[in-house]
Amino acid sequence: MSVLALGDRLSGDDRDFFRRVWSTDPEVYRARIRAAGFAGLGDVLDAGCGFGQWTMPLAEANRSVEAIDADEARVDVARRALSGLSNVRVSRGSVGRLPYPDESFDGIFCYSVLYYTDHRRALAEFARVLRPDGRLYVCGNGLGWYLHNLIDGHNGSAFFDPRAMAAQALADTLAGRTGRQIVIPSEVLVRDCAAARFEVEAVGPEGTLAVAGEVPGTPFFKGTYHGQEGVYELIARKAR
């Protein structure tokens, strides 16, 4: 069975999203992994792996990958999609309560997940399970992303209402509620990373950062929407 055929096990927006991310040229993901400095790290955690589209290039470029996600359906499909890789284990769990011993990983990759969580708690867990000088990559959303969804209706379908999602995210942000999407401006994440003992090396629009010796990959989103911060990425290291 092809990986894309696994989408038939899903329904609604999950099926649309799965087909979209797994139809992307794998080299796009590989280039982004290299740009973020996630090649040759050793043991890596894909924190909030979703359907595993980032887990595959992480596994190709590193010794081992633990992939974790809170959604059972996504975990099941990711396991099937990645079944041919011997150095990957996919598990269900929360980034706010990681089931790993202290100092288990050389790198943590967290793409478009942190804003669903109590991000300060997740950062504390990341710091706990990372080894000293371990690398952290986080992708997050600023206010402009939600304005874009609210005004422009990004990827709307019969199964997904981007305007309703954005309105709920803005309401939850103002009310201080977590569990669904909230706005986390990059300056807030930088401050909270420092509080969690991370040294931020770079922050910028999604898909534009590159560690020394690498070149930026292909962005999936814009850095600004409607004059406000859109989707951004951050690279940091755990303090020694």
Residue-wise pLDDT for 84-138, tens only, equals 999 999 999 999 999 999 999 999 999 999 999 999 999 999 999 999 999 999 9
Give the CATH class of 4-238: alpha beta
Least confident window among 5-9, 46-50, 93-97, 218-222: 5-9
Angle at 186 between CA 189 and CA 205, to 5 degrees: 135
Residue 1 confidence class, pLDDT cut points 50, 70, 90: low
What distance in Å separates the CA atoms of residue 196 and residue 175, rounded to the nearest whole number?
24
* Residue 2 pLDDT greater than 90, yes or no: no
Residue partners of 239: CB distance under 8 A and separation at least 6: 132, 197, 198, 199
Neighbours of 121 (CB within 10 A): 15
Neighbours of 158 (CB within 10 A): 8
Give the helix/strand (H/E) hosting 203: strand 198-205
Alpha helices by DSSP H, 130-185: 143-152, 162-175
Q: Is the pTM of this model over 0.85?
A: yes
The pLDDT value recorded for residue 179 is 87
What distance in Å separates the CA atoms of residue 156 and residue 26, rounded to the nearest whole number?
25
